[in-house]
Amino acid sequence: MTDALVQRFLDGLAATARARFDAWPQLHTQLPETLAALWRRAGLAESLQPRFVLALAAGVDDDCEPADALGDIFAEDLALACACAAGDARALAAFDAAFLRDIDHAWMRGGEPGAREDFRQRVRERLLVAAPDGTTRISAYGGRGPLRGWVRVAATRVMIDLVRKARPIDAPAGDASLFDRVADGSDPELDYMRQAYGAALPEAMRDGLASLTPRQRNLLRQRYLAQLPGERLAAMYGVHRATVFRWLEDARASLFTAMRAALGQRLQVADHELDSVIGLLASRVHVSMRRILDSKLEG
């Protein structure tokens, strides 16, 4: 049994890692003991031994030290993943029992009300249903960290995909209502601007939006129209929330630069008056953004 384990493991290694193991003085002493101990911890049916050992080998880095390569394996988690990849009914039930709460946590970060079960099923399909080539996503788990963390990351990626499909990053800009969201009727100075300059302001807003990149347009739309918090935007785009805030500030600055140019073409006003119009509008948006961030994220 041990000889078979060792040979399967060595055969599953990439060429560089295999060369390191072949040159390892303890290859025929320490490796058999390590593999045998991991196999006992796995507690799998013998039919799943090849799958388990190949999963161990697939996770070994090319530049690893053989003595440390298998030292931190989550053998029980890897065993569950292997059994799920094989379609074992008890393993699939155990997966649900162990990780549905983690999948639900990802859903609560942006899922539609009443669609939790649909989201669960999407995650199951993503991880547990075989692709046309017969592989499953969960087969990519190599036991180098807790399976729970791996599932959480995978579920979050499913949520990001769903939100991006619902709110396409490259959706065309048609956001005349963005100005109305910024100037919501409670600011008399902005109301005066709308009365004084008529349609020029929303037209300049549309021109300004059209000059932005698709991502910038959607960030402004998602922030001011959909009122999405920074953390959710960060999850949607797969970046740190500080990066989202920087993107928003850059988008806002680019918008007002473009709006100033558009207004200058439409209005016969002095430059200093034009600067006052844009400066007032920009300051109101900046204050609004700061208020939202302070109340929603910084606590």
Residue ranges making up the domain that contains 106: 93-139+149-166
Nearest CA to 291 among 175, 182, 215, 149? 182
Same domain, residue pair 57 and 125: no
pLDDT of residue 3: 83
Same domain, residue pair 107 and 209: no
Q: Residue 26 falls within a domain, yes or no?
A: yes
pTM of the predicted model over 0.85: no
Separation of alpha carbons 2 and 34, rounded Å = 10
pLDDT of residue 182: 45
Could you list the mean pLDDT of each consecutive 10-residue stretch along the chain, which spans 299 residues? 83 90 91 92 91 90 85 91 94 94 81 78 90 86 88 82 58 42 45 55 73 80 72 80 83 80 69 58 43 29
pLDDT of residue 96: 94
pLDDT of residue 21: 93
Same domain, residue pair 154 and 199: no
Same domain, residue pair 241 and 184: yes
Distances (CA, A) of 38 to 8, 35, 42, 47, 73: 14, 5, 6, 16, 8
Q: Residue 160 falls within a domain, yes or no?
A: yes
pLDDT of residue 94: 95
pLDDT of residue 140: 87
pLDDT of residue 107: 82
Separation of CA 177 from chain center: 29
pLDDT of residue 162: 75
| CATH number, residue 264 | 1.20.140
Is the distance from CB of 251 to CB of 220 less than 8 angstroms? yes
pLDDT of residue 297: 26
Same domain, residue pair 159 and 181: no
Same domain, residue pair 193 and 129: no
Q: Which residues contact 271 (CB under 8 A, 6 or more apart)?
A: 264
* Number of domains into which the chain is organized: 3
Separation of alpha carbons 60 and 68, rounded Å = 10
